[in-house]
Amino acid sequence: MTDVSRMHYLKTNKGKIIGGIAFFVFGLILGFALNKNYNPAYYPTSIRANDKDFLYINPLLACNISENKEFAEYKPLKDLINNFVGKADPAKVQIVSLYYRDLNSGRWFSSNENELFAPASLFKVPLMIAYLKAAESDPQILSQKIFYSSSSTDLNNVEHYKSPIDIISGNYYTVDDLIKSMIYYSDNNAMGLLADKMNPKYLSEVLTDINMDLPSATGTTPASDFLTVKTYSYLFRLLYNSTYLNRQMSEKALDLLTFVDFPQGLINGVPPEIKIAQKFGERTELASGQVAWRELHDCGIVYYPDHPYLLCVMTKGQDFDTLSSVISGISSLVYSEVDKKYKK
């Protein structure tokens, strides 16, 4: 067909062509509508950079994922976990909240996700993020030196899971070194120095940006229960997706979190060769000198080969050892199910 003939055909048959396209599109829509199993929320899609230069992040470029309704495919796993938690001593374990998310598909499920907890040492992650955000525009911030004097209160004394390596009084430390101590060993003294040197207005802006507005605070960490497991999980998603910090800083943050020294939690539920970027937090609430309750949390990304997932568990009860065994038990159940699904 010549160009002239083609133009004549298009003009004379314009109505038929448009009608045919409309009929075809209508047929597609009708087909989906008649399929009772079709629900757009259950067909999440995401486009990622898949940049092999990074080990711990996979930048998100675009997505279409349901955030309002968890996915029914995880009901058997959720039932397993609820059954496991139900066997715990109720005198020692009062509340267990968890959030799971497949980082490839975005599919998720949760349990008791609306329960409120105190972040405790989990707050060290947003503080790290605030410093790394500032370092994006001023890299010299990380090399600034801060003097540590033990004349101030030793903040590590109150912890059950104490820092194995404390910063030493009388020494200068770079901001980068203090961030490492704060994350690797959950050193409260390092966190105290960093929190004191951070401009409160800047930190507040960062916390607002990452949807972690704080109530009134006592010391360097918020005291009241205000944080949900799903809200905190958002921080690890920001880092993995590289949607708040740039790629280099997101990678740096998750790399630091892979060195966290807390073998009693999530990491105790997976094989030793599997990398985890995690952060734990603990809190003891006293009343009249007696323990009213304790909180123990562990959240992180488990780098199962080609199928990384996010798992965050927050607990409240009377006994840290029992709470840690619940966290590691849940981690083991989740890993086992993921391994069954994807093991080659």
DSSP summary character for residue 262: -
Are the beta carbons of 301 and 308 closer than 8 angstroms?
yes
| Dihedral over Cα of 69, 75, 80, 84: its sign | positive
Could you please report the per-residue DSSP string of 294-327?
EEEEEEEEE--TT--EEEEEEEEES-HHHHHHHH
What 194-201 contacts at long range (C-beta under 8 Å, 24+ apart), as own/partner pairs, is 194/127, 194/131, 194/146, 195/127, 195/220, 196/220, 197/146, 198/127, 198/130, 198/131
Could you please report the per-residue DSSP string of 66-123?
-SSS--GGGHHHHHHHHHHHHTS-TTTEEEEEEEEEETTT--EEEESTT--B--GGGG
> Given this model, what pLDDT does residue 221 score?
46
Are the beta carbons of 315 and 295 closer than 8 angstroms?
yes
Higher-pLDDT residue of 281, 72: 281
> Given this model, what pLDDT does residue 6 score?
45
> Given this model, what pLDDT does residue 206 score?
86
Higher-pLDDT residue of 227, 19: 227
Q: What is the SS3 assignment for 182?
A: helix
Are the beta carbons of 96 and 315 closer than 8 angstroms?
yes
pLDDT tens digit string along 289-340?
888 899 999 999 999 999 999 999 999 999 999 999 999 999 999 999 999 9
pLDDT tens digit string along 134-147?
999 999 999 999 99
DSSP summary character for residue 32: H
DSSP summary character for residue 157: G
Are the beta carbons of 211 and 234 closer than 8 angstroms?
yes
> Given this model, what pLDDT does residue 155 score?
81
* Gap between the terminal Cα atoms of the chain: 53
Helix H or strand E encompassing 135: helix 124-137
DSSP summary character for residue 141: G
CA 34 – CA 234 distance, rounded (Å): 36
Helix H or strand E encompassing 11: helix 3-12
Q: What is the pTM of this model?
A: 0.81
DSSP summary character for residue 222: E
Higher-pLDDT residue of 62, 81: 81
Homologous superfamily assigned to 71-342: DD-peptidase/beta-lactamase superfamily (3.40.710.10)
pLDDT tens digit string along 97-149?
999 999 999 999 999 999 999 999 999 999 999 999 999 999 999 999 999 98
